[in-house]
Amino acid sequence: MEKKIYTPREAWEMLGIGRTRFYQLLKGGKIRYFKNGNRYLIPESAIANFIIEQMAKGREQID
């Protein structure tokens, strides 16, 4: 079974960004998450959506 939910560390490593920047994006609503007790959990779809949005921004800046 493929993993569909990630811890913050797994997510920021996948995105290639640091811890502080990741939590800024989380708190700023740029990456969706949910909490299970005190743990932040990030769905795979939230990571994919963030990447798609960033790619679209990059494309807009070029045009």
Strand-strand pairing, 39-43 and 5-6: antiparallel
DSSP state of 40: E
Indicate if the pLDDT at residue 63 is higher than 60: no
At 2 the pLDDT is 76
Question: What mean pLDDT is reported for the chain?
Answer: 91
Indicate if the pLDDT at residue 38 is higher than 70: yes
Range of weakest confidence among 11-15, 17-21, 38-42, 55-59: 55-59
Structure tokens at 21: 């920047």
Extents of the domains making up the chain = 5-62
Give the pLDDT band (50/70/90) at residue 28: very high
